[in-house]
Amino acid sequence: MTAHAHTSATDHVLAEVRNQIGHLTLNRPAGLNALTLDMVRSLRQHLDQWAEDPQVRAVVLRGEGPKGFCAGGDIRSLHDSYKNGDNLHEDFFVEEYALDLCIHHYRKPVLVLMDGFTLGGGMGLAQGCDLRVVTERSRLGMPEVGIGYFPDVGGSYFLPRIPGELGIYLGVTGSQIQAADALYCGLADWYVSSDALSALDQGLDKLAFGDHPLKDLQSLLAKLGTQVLDDAPLQKLRPIIDHFFALPDLPAIIEQLRAVSIGDSHQWALATADQLESRSPLAMAVTLEMLRRGRHLALEACFAMELHLDRQWFQYGDIVEGVRALIIDKDKQPRWNPPTLAGLERRRVDQFFEGL
């Protein structure tokens, strides 16, 4: 068995081929492996190289450290670039989405370990993979509305394709979920407990590939994990979420959450209404519209729509203020524009989608 390791200039992506498997490790554990443009480029370079290499039969993607696979894009650097009049924020999204799309269409099986935090850009990498593995430490989510942004990286494709209105709920509230819900929603395929991850690695190093590498990997996962977990909280909440999040707009959703009691879910409904009222009204309204459009669009069209929104968002959206309040000054008092849904004109939401 030959192993040749290669590290990128920044060492923020570690790459190695062992036993005909290309291993890619996001290596910024102090930043929860958040993606920089260099990391995006390094990942793409290795994937392109391995796509053509007959010695590589499959790819495994993971994050360094127990806390997270990837907590998203390095949003602070994008904010700073915009403030300085540079265009990193434009280049970053173009290349990040192209990388995500490359993973969705990759011709060799890709297994991703979504151990720990897998948020935003981390979900963008993971959702195109063939075998998405969660552990008891997994926390999955698209929390963008909390910083005045919208769930991108293909979120307009994979969120509305979750059963019922669960994906709309996850995108508009920015809520995080754990392993059982990830399997229930179809955002993960396998559950493996974290103490079995070393056995998974040993299994990968010993795996004898036949004609169908995907099946070989599935057989290994079947020995170590399961595809269903009991007690998924969203399974119980599903009828309620399907009712509220199919309502025509956000004011209606919040009003009904406060007013209507369904079963014993009223505390949950009130907490959800409070959560929505802390988010950027503009970001939530654009997210709702984007997800409902994305439900009927092909994958490429979803990425194109997200890029179209991105090109306007730093100037006309709420992200610069959101990053200031939550990441830079940390006063947690974002001054959204407008501050409430009542002050949001429908025209302002529609303008973002013009010229698509």
Calpha distance 12→28 (Å, rounded): 6
Which member of 74, 115, 130, 144 is catalytic?
Answer: 144
- From the candidates 22, 121, 122, 141, which is the catalytic residue? 121
Question: DSSP readout, 230-264?
Answer: S--HHHHHHHHHHHHTTSSSHHHHHHHHHH---TT
Active site residue 121: yes
Cα distance between residue 108 and residue 128, in whole Å: 12
Half-sphere exposure of 28 (CA within 13 A, CB side): 20
Start-to-end Cα distance in the chain: 51
DSSP state of 328: I
Residue that is written with structure tokens 């490359």 in the block: 102
Three-state secondary-structure class, residue 8: coil
- Phi and psi at residue 48, to the nearest 5°: -65, -40
Please give the Cα distance from 66 to 123 (Å, whole number): 17
| Residue 3: CA count within 13 A, CB half-sphere | 7
**Which of 63, 68, 73, 167 is the catalytic position?**
73
- Catalytic status, residue 144: yes
Residue 184 structure tokens: 């229930």
262 by Cβ neighbours in 10 Å (0-12 / 13-18 / 19+) ranks as middle
DSSP-derived secondary structure letter, 112: E
> Active-site residue among 96, 100, 130, 152?
152
The torsion angles phi and psi of 4, rounded to 5 degrees, stand at -125, 120
Cβ neighbours for 327, distance < 8 A, ≥ 6 positions apart: 75, 76, 79, 147
Contact 61, 111 (CB under 8 A): yes
Distance CA 63, CA 329 (A): 28
Cβ atoms of 87 and 113 within 8 Å: the answer is no
| Active-site residue flag, 22 | no
CA separation for the pair 135, 123 (Å, rounded)? 15
Residue positions annotated with a catalytic role:
73, 121, 144, 152
